Amino acid sequence: MTKKVSRIGVLTSGGDAPGMNAAIRAVVRTGLYHGLEVFGIMRGYQGMIEEDIFKMEGRSVANIIQRGGTILKTARCKEFYEAPGRKKAYDNLKKQGIDGLVIIGGDGSFRGAVKFSKEFDMPCIGIAGTIDKDIHGSDYTIGFDTAVNTAIEAIDKIRDTMDAHDRIFIIEVMGRDAGYIALHSGIATGAENILIPERKTNIKDIIESLQEKEKRKKLVNLIVVAEGDEFGGANEVQKVLKENLPNAEIRVAILGHIQRGGSPTGIDRLIASRMGYHAVECLMEGKHNVFVGILNNKMHYIPLEKAVKNKGGISEEWMKIVKILAS
């Protein structure tokens, strides 16, 4: 193996996701194993611009694999959108001698990395750290499994009180542009309806179904809604249902940022560790602008730009499963 880099930087950017710390740990320890110097960049691209950069050692990542959030913090940096901001960031990296980057983040983070790398010929390796699972090229993204399990636990508890009172409950989960959390948590908790951004919501069909169930005295119904559903989220759905089902008890629960926090699941710790290890291997092999993913339990590499341009879609099979199991 030919070493192409000597000093690498690692950062977390965009929304935080459980398992990011496990990925940081893997990057640092793999880099040190190969004799590289590893630098942590605080608050993503913002820290790069402000030169909030520090050298990391093995002890820097001790006792973090089980922690949610990110020890490197994260931020969305508007200044990095502009050429002068990116130039300032590059100058700070060169001052530290950093000649390769591992970026743990989502779609917006990778867009910034693609532009930055083209302008300054800086090797960038992307790891998908996003609870939304909306990046092309990987069956997994860091944080998704934890977010789904958090949602499932909350929905299971809500279902207990829903059953006790014969209520309709509309539960809103995260997913501004992608409905994977809603889809997976909804199927896993037996939701009667799942509303996601990828599919047009036929509210008329939902109303008719609930009216028919009301006649059969099936008063307990669970609806899981992704926050980005085109109908407008849980509160909007409740308004329309209440107008058409005046006798029904309808409640809303918005799970919100509880889905971002918490100790990562075993799956998220494992995939984060695996991706972090392979990200450093890519830099060592002289690869530029690669997205590190996992498909069919094997490492999968695609150009970072391709991961940005293509979103993962929800298959018709999943939608058929939803329809059949909810009937």
Catalytic residue set: 132
Closest CA to 143 of 249, 52, 62, 264: 264
How many Å apart are CA 74 and CA 15, to the nearest integer?
Answer: 7
Tokens 């889809």 — which residue?
183
Structure tokens at 152: 């499932």
Q: Which of 149, 156, 285 lies closest to 222, judged by CA? A: 156
Q: What's the Cα-to-Cα distance from 179 to each of 125, 183, 289, 327, rounded to whole Å?
A: 26, 6, 27, 20
- Look at residues 81, 38, 115 and name the one whose alpha carbon lies nearest to residue 304: 115
Among 107, 128, 106, 134, CA closest to 311: 134
The strand pairing partners of 295, in sequence order, are 298
